[in-house]
Amino acid sequence: MIKTKNYNHTALVVRDLEKCVWFYGRVMGLASIPRPDFGFPGHWFQVGDSQLHLMVMDEVIPKSMRHLAFEVEDFAQAMEELAENGIAVEDGPGKRDDGSDYLFCRDPDGNLVEITFHAS
């Protein structure tokens, strides 16, 4: 058995790097971090102890239920921020059986994003 220590990063294919950097940086509030030159455009963000790596690739971005999930400090404020930036909520807001809040939206390139809040 492999003894996994931590979750390191998620790599996400995007088409419009500028719009996606705006979404994940400005709207979602993620901090940009240095990225090596891999010979193709991209951008990295810190997400808690993990990272989000955006990669511009010539791939079809499928519309699917595959998604990133971000836990936020203030769910109501997150919904306001989405509305102020013209980002449509695709599903929710709703409550799960455990009492947590959730909603789904899409980034500028159509990748599905879940925003969740877990009350302590």
For 9-38, what is each residue's pLDDT tens digit? 999 999 999 999 999 999 999 999 999 999
Amino acid identity for residue 25 in this structure: G
- Here the tokens at position 61 are 């971005």
Asked whether residue 99 is assigned to any structural domain, the reply reads yes
Asked whether residue 51 is assigned to any structural domain, the reply reads yes
Asked whether residue 4 is assigned to any structural domain, the reply reads no
Chain segment 76-110, per-residue pLDDT in tens: 999 999 999 999 999 999 999 999 999 999 999 99
CATH number at residue 113: 3.10.180.10
Farthest CA pair distance, the chain? 47
For residue 100, count other CB atoms closer than 10 A to its CB. Answer: 14
What domain range includes position 24? 9-117
pTM over 0.85: yes
**Structurally, how many domains does the chain consist of?**
1
Asked whether residue 57 is assigned to any structural domain, the reply reads yes
HSE at residue 22, side-chain half, CA atoms within 13 A, is 11
Asked whether residue 3 is assigned to any structural domain, the reply reads no
**Nearest-CA neighbor of 107 among 7, 21, 49?**
21
Q: Which has more confidence, 29 or 63?
A: 29
Before 93, cis peptide (omega within 30)? yes
- Indicate left, alpha or beta for 29 from its phi (over 0: left) and psi (-120 to 50: alpha): left
Asked whether residue 2 is assigned to any structural domain, the reply reads no
Whether the CB-CB separation of 102 and 114 falls below 8 Å is answered with yes
Question: How much is the pLDDT for 51?
Answer: 97
Asked whether residue 91 is assigned to any structural domain, the reply reads yes
